[in-house]
Amino acid sequence: MGLLSQGSPLSWEETKRHADHVRRHGILQFLHIYHAVKDRQKDVLKWGDEVEYMLVSFDHENKKVQLVLSGEEVLETLQEKGERTNPNHPTLWRPEYGSYMIEGTPGQPYGGTMSEFNTVEDNMRQRRKEATSLLKENQALCTITSFPSSSICCRLGCPGFTLPEFKPNPVEGGASKSLFFPDEAINKHPRFSTLTRNIRHRRGEKVVINVPIFKDKNTPSPFIETFPEDEEAAKASKPDHIYMDAMGFGMGNCCLQVTFQACSISEARYLYDQLATICPIVMALSAASPFYRGYVSDIDCRWGVISASVDDRTREERGLEPLKNNNYRISKSRYDSIDSYLSECGEKYNDIELTIDKEIYEQLLQEGIDHLLAQHVAHLFIRDPLTLFEEKIHLDDANESDHFENIQSTNWQTMRFKPPPPNSDIGWRVEFRPMEVQLTDFENSAYVVFVVLLTRVILSYKLDFLIPLSKVDENMKVAQKRDAVLQGMFYFRKDICKGGSAVVDGCGQARNSSELAAEEYTLMSIDTIINGKEGVFPGLIPVLNSYLESMEVDVDTRCSILNYLKLIKKRASGELMTVARWMREFISNHPDYKQDSVITDEMNYSLILKCNQIAHELCECPELLGPVFRKVKYSGSKTDPSN
C-alpha cells in the first residue's frame, strides 16, 4: 500500500502545518523526474502482479475461524529467507494494512514474451507455499477479498474475529475509535495507524461506511441496528444498511493488481486511459466480496467500502457546510475512480468537473508540461499529505521523491500513472487496481493474464475504448451491485477499431470533436463486452483469441492461456459463478442459515474452510472453476481436518 518510511510519525495538526511544504516539494520532485525522463523511449514491456493475502486460524473444535495478527512476523521471516538472502529470490513480500495481511509479488518483473504467461501461476503457487510453510498448525493463507466475520460478536463489541482476541477500543486516543475493529488488527508499522488516525482527524469525525443489506425472506424490514452507546454511530448508521466505522473494514480487504511498464510516457498515458474504461468491467467480473461485518450485503465488490473507509474530506469539502476553512469542494474520496484521461485522444471525453490546485497547474504549464498531465497532477495535489515522518521533512528534491509519492500513493484510484523513481532504470508505468482477489492461483493468474494480454492487443491493434469519463463512473456504480456481471448494463464503445493507426501519438482524422460522442457508445451486458454479440460488438475474448492465433506461442503456454480465457469467458456468460455469487450460494445453502442475512461464526468457519480447500485443490468446485485442467497438485494442507 505504498511508501514505508521509518521514523517518528507526526500528528495530524503537525502534518497539516507541513502540508504546503510537502506539496511544494512534491511538485519540484515531480518536475525533476519529468525533465529527466520525459523523452525516454523504447523501454521494454515489463509487468508484475500483486496479490494480497489474509492469515487465518481455524479452531476445528469450536468451528470458528479468526484472522491471525502475525503478518509482521511472517513478513519478517519471508523477507529474511527471501530477498535479503538472495536478491534473485523468485518472490517479494510487503506489508499491508491489516496486521493479518501480507502482500506477495514476483521477485523480478515479467518480460514481454508470451511464454512468461506460463510462469505466473507457478509463481503464485510458490508464494502461497512459501508463506504457508511459515504458519502454525491450523493456520492458512487465504486469498479472500473481504473477511465475512461474525455479526454476533461484532454487534456486541465483544472480541472475536482476531487471534489473539482484542476488544475494540472506541475511546479517545485510539487510531480508529471503532466500535468493532480493534486497533491491534492494524499493521504495527506506524504508517498504518497514523494514516487511520489522521484520516479521522482531518475528516473531523469517524469514517462512515453504510453498505446496503441484502433483504432475505426473514431479514427484518426495516433492518435497523442501534448503537445507543455511541452518538456518532447512532447518527451515522442508516436503516437497511450494514454500518461500519473504521479504515480496517476497507483497507483491510485484499485485491489483485497489475503494474505495466510502457515503452514511453505517451504509451503509458494511452494505456492509462484505455484501461480506465475496462476497470468497472473487470471489477464486476472479479466480484468476490458480498459479506461485511457478519451480514449478507447487497453488493458484490469492495470498492465503495474502501472508498468510504479512507474518506478524509471535511464536511465543507463534502458540500455539507459552506466553505470556510477549506479551499475546495471535492466530489470523491481519495480512493475512487480516476477523474481525467491523460492522452490527447482522451481530452474530448473528459467530462467530469475537475478540482485542481490552480497554482500548481500554472507552475506545471510554465515548466512546459501539457494541459492534460498538468491538470492530472494538480488534481492529485488538492489532497493533503496524511502521514509525515519528522526525519523526512527536508529532502533533496533532485534525488528523492518521497513528498511526491506521499500525495501520489494516497490517491488510491482505479488506475495509477507512475513516473519512474529518481535515478533508476525503471520506465513510465501504469497500475491497474480495481480487481478483487480470487480464491485460487489459477483464477488470479487468469485475471492477470487476461488484463496483460488485453494491453498487448490494445497496443498492437491500436484499439480505442474511450467513452465519456462520466459514463465510466456510472459503470463503476453498476459494477459493484449484486450480480452485476449478469444483470448490469454498462456503457461501452461500439467501434473499438475506429482510432485508426494514429491513436498513440495523435488522434485519428475520424476524431473530429464535433462528432457526437453519444453515438459512439451504447449499453451492453458484460457477456456482450467480453464474448461479443453478432452485429453488436466483436467481444474482447474473440479479439484476444485472434491475436493469440497470430502469435507464435509454444503449445504449453497456449494451452494455459486458452484455459485462462475460458474462465473469463464463462464467468462473463454466467456459465461459471463469480466468487461473490458462489459465496452467496454457499451461505444460503448452509443448514444453519435462517434466511435473515446473518452469518454466524460457524457459517463463517465452514465458508473459509471450504475456500481454503478449494485454494489447495483438496476439493473440486466446478460451479466456480469449471472442469479446468490444473498443472500441479498440492501435497496437502496443514489446515484440512481430514489430514
Residues that bind Mg ion (CB under 5 A): 1, 103
Among positions 144, 153, 154, 306, the unique one binding ligand GLU when judged by CB under 6 A = 306
Q: How far is the CB of 73 from Mg ion (least distance, A)?
A: 19
CA–CA gap between residue 396 and residue 244 (Å, rounded):
41
Distance between CA 280 and CA 283 in Å, rounded?
A: 5
How far, in Å, CA of 208 to CA of 236, rounded? 6
Q: Which helix (H) or strand (E) holds 429?
A: strand 429-432
When CB distances are held under 5 to 8 angstroms depending on the partner's kind, the choice from Mg ion, ligand GLU, none that residue 53 binds is none
Q: Please tell me the distance from the alpha carbon of residue 636 to that of residue 248, in angstroms, as a whole number.
A: 32
Stretch that binds ligand GLU, among 249-257, 277-285, 310-318, 601-609 (CB under 6 A): 249-257
Q: Which of 412, 442, 447, 465 binds ligand GLU (CB under 6 A)?
A: 412
Q: Is the CB of residue 144 less than 8 Å from the CB of residue 608? A: yes
Q: Which is nearer to ligand GLU, 249 or 349 (CB)?
A: 249
406 binds ligand GLU (CB under 6 A): no
Stretch binding ligand GLU (CB under 6 A), from 79-87, 179-187, 247-255, 400-408: 247-255
Cβ proximity to ligand GLU, 247 vs 503, nearer residue: 247
Which of 118, 410 has the CB closer to ligand GLU?
410
Residue 264 CB contacts under 8 Å (≥ 6 apart), including other chains: 40, 41, 42, 43, 427, 428
- C-beta of residue 454 within 8 angstroms of C-beta of residue 547: no
Candidate residues 255, 275, 356, 380; the one interacting with ligand GLU per rule CB under 6 A: 255
d(CA 344, CA 267): 11
Contact 405, 417 (CB under 8 A): no
Task: Return d(Cα 288, Cα 236) in angstroms, integer.
Answer: 26
Closest distance of CB 195 from ligand GLU, Å: 11
Closest by Cα among 460, 472, 493, 354 to 415: 472
H or E element at residue 418: strand 415-418
User: Rule CB under 6 A: which of 131-170 touch ligand GLU?
Assistant: none
Find the binding residues for ligand GLU in span 184-203 (CB under 6 A): none
Which one of ligand GLU, Mg ion, none is in contact with 412 (Cβ closer than 5 to 8 A by kind)?
ligand GLU
CB of 435 to ligand GLU, least distance (A): 9
Q: Give the one residue of 48, 49, 51, 52 binding ligand GLU; rule: CB under 6 A.
A: 52
Phi, psi of 185 (to 5 degrees): -85, -5
Taking the complex as a whole, the smallest distance from the CB of residue 143 to ligand GLU amounts, in Å, to 12
Q: What is the DSSP letter of 44?
A: P
Measured distance between the N- and C-terminal CA atoms of the chain, rounded to whole angstroms: 36
306 interface partner picked from Mg ion, ligand GLU, none, CB below 5 to 8 A per type: ligand GLU
Q: Which stretch binds ligand GLU (CB under 6 A): 116-124, 182-190, 253-261, 344-352?
A: 253-261
Residue 620 per-residue DSSP state = -
Please state the closest distance from residue 192 (CB atom) to ligand GLU, in A: 11
- The residue nearest ligand GLU at its CB is 255
Q: Is 142 helix (H, G, I), strand (E, B) or coil?
A: strand
Say if CB 262 and CB 268 are below 8 A apart. Answer: yes
Strands 295-296 and 335-336: unpaired
Nearer to ligand GLU, 185 or 360 (CB): 185
User: Which partner in ligand GLU, Mg ion, none is near 253 (CB below 5 to 8 A by kind)?
Assistant: ligand GLU
Contacts of 327 (CB under 8 A, 6+ apart): 382
Stretch that binds ligand GLU, among 67-75, 119-127, 248-256, 389-397 (CB under 6 A): 248-256
C-beta closer to Mg ion: residue 103 or 402: 103
User: Quick one: which segment of 18-26, 251-259, 367-375, 523-531 binds ligand GLU (CB under 6 A)?
Assistant: 251-259
Q: Are strands 415-418 and 412-413 parallel, antiparallel or unpaired?
A: unpaired
Determine the interface stretch with ligand GLU among 71-79, 106-114, 221-229, 252-260 (rule: CB under 6 A): 252-260
Binding piece for ligand GLU, criterion CB under 6 A, among 12-20, 115-123, 250-258, 632-640: 250-258
CA distance 105 to 430: 16
Residue 487 makes CB contacts below 8 A (sequence gap 6+) with 481
* Residue ranges binding ligand GLU (CB under 6 A): 1, 52, 251, 253-255, 302, 306, 412
